[in-house]
Amino acid sequence: MSGESYIDTSPQDNSQLYDPKAQTAFADPIVRCDSCQALVRRGTIHKLGCCDKCGNRRMRNVLIIKENEMQICKDWDLDADFLALFEETDEIKPTNPIKCPRSAEDPNVA
């Protein structure tokens, strides 16, 4: 092949495209649709193979759950340990100290 792209135009068997019994790449009980940003249960992906709101097949791991979404998750009876990962806390996590440039009066300046 000299710089040409190859496109497979051979007929495909539709049974190869989606298998509802196949393992998904997500271990979490919910994921977020990449298109409409809706929360989608893993069972829905197993059943439909796509987002039940918009039909998109691209999903992402959930990083943030908003307050109204948290109530929906509780209604879905998701694992409490999983939901605890997204609860707000007042805990301030330590960060690296702010690095300030040294002044000319600093005796440690070489």
**Can you read off the two tokens belonging to residue 3?**
């710089």
Closest to 83 (Cα-Cα) out of 68, 94, 73: 73
Q: How confident is the model at residue 36 (pLDDT cuts 50, 70, 90)?
A: very high
What is the per-residue pLDDT across 44-58, written as a single tens digit (0 to 9) for each?
888 888 999 999 999
State residue 79 phi and psi, 5-degree precision.
-60, 125
Task: Tell me the per-residue pLDDT of 17-34, one tens digit each, with 9 for 90 and over.
Answer: 555 555 556 678 899 999
* Residue 10 pLDDT exceeds 90: no
Closest CA to 71 of 55, 87, 50: 87
Helix, strand, coil percent content, the chain, rounded in steps of 5: 20, 10, 70
At 108 the pLDDT is: 62
Q: Which residues are CB-neighbours of 78 under 8 A, at least 6 positions away?
A: 29, 30
Q: Where are the domains of the chain?
A: 19-84
